[in-house]
Structures are given as structure tokens and as C-alpha cells.
Amino acid sequence: MNRAVYPGSFDPITNGHIDVIERVAGMVEHVTVAILINAKKQGLFSLEERKELILDAVKHLDNVEVVCFSGLLADYCRDNHIDVIVRGLRAVSDYEYEIQMAQMNRKLYPKAETIFLMTNPIYAYLSSSLVKEVAGFSGCVSDLIPELAYKKLIEKLHDERDDF
């Protein structure tokens, strides 16, 4: 395996995401963290902000790049000669959705292999949505996301409260 892609929305990136990226970076020559542009979803962070947060969190890894993309992941992989798609699984409930996506990607781009990595058990409950929800009620999430992401999350939530 030379090149892998780890797609997601990363709104914001969590320590669980970082764990997967670090593990994949140790397996392949090059990892692309691909931020999906989804016009149907309005993220808390802009694509540029998410990219900045991820770049800061992976700066210690010299074989990782961060890009934004829209459209089908299978097309992105084909166009960029990437044959390995990495997905993290937190629980059995993730598997049903992820297997459907993996099979569709394989249909659209037969060279694509999806590798599922089980999350580190300390992150099994962790999601970006949960982090935002807890932080929105002033719950402590500082140990769940990278330092810069935490700082920017608190700033953004503070700014939203000021808008009311």
C-alpha cells in the first residue's frame, strides 16, 4: 500500500480522527485526509478552518496532506491514483453504513479497497457532533480534540452566543 485516503467532514477533528491518521500514516507512504464538501450540510467550521485545524494537528506527520473535495469519493480516488480508503469504526452500528459505502465505492472504482480500522477504545464514544453538543452546553471537551481545535471551538461558540 502506497497511498491511502481518509475521508470525512472533520467538523471539528477529534483525537479519535488523529489516532486513525497516525496509525494509517505508519502503514502507507502517503495519506490524504480528504475533507468532504457537502452542500447539504452546514458545518460549524468552514472548509478552510477545518483544513487549518487538521494541518495543525498532523504537522508532526510528514507523509500526510489535507485536501478538500466534492463529488464522489470513488472519482477522487481514481483521479488521484489512490486505491486504499480508510474508515474508522467505533461500534457495530457504524459497520452497516460503512459497508454499504465501501461496496458502492468498490462498484464505482473496482481498484478501491476499503480498510476498516477499529477505533482505540478510549475514543469509542467520540464524535465531532458530540463534541460540539457538549461544548455548546459548556461541558469540558478540551481533552477530546487537539488544542487549536479546542481554542477555535470555544471562540466560535462564544461568537455564536454573542449573536443572540
User: 81 catalytic, yes or no?
Assistant: no
CA atoms within 13 A on the CB side of 72: 13
Q: Which of 163, 164, 139 is nearest to 150 (CA)?
A: 139
Spatial strand order in the sheet of 84-89: 64-69, 30-36, 3-8, 84-89, 113-118
- Number of helices followed by number of strands (H, E) in the chain: 6, 5
164 is in an annotated binding site: no
Catalytic residue among 23, 30, 78, 90: 90
Quick check: is 90 catalytic?
Answer: yes
Task: Name the catalytic one among 17, 51, 132, 152.
Answer: 17
Do 66 and 35 form a contact (C-beta atoms < 8 A)? yes
87 belongs to an annotated ligand binding site: yes
Q: Which of 50, 51, 128, 132 is catalytic?
A: 128
Q: Which of 41, 59, 60, 81 is catalytic?
A: 41
Binding site, residues? 9-10, 17, 41, 73, 87-90, 98, 123-129
Binding site for substrate, residues? 9, 41, 73, 87
Binding site for ATP, residues? 9-10, 17, 88-90, 98, 123-129
Write out the catalytic residue numbers: 17, 41, 90, 128
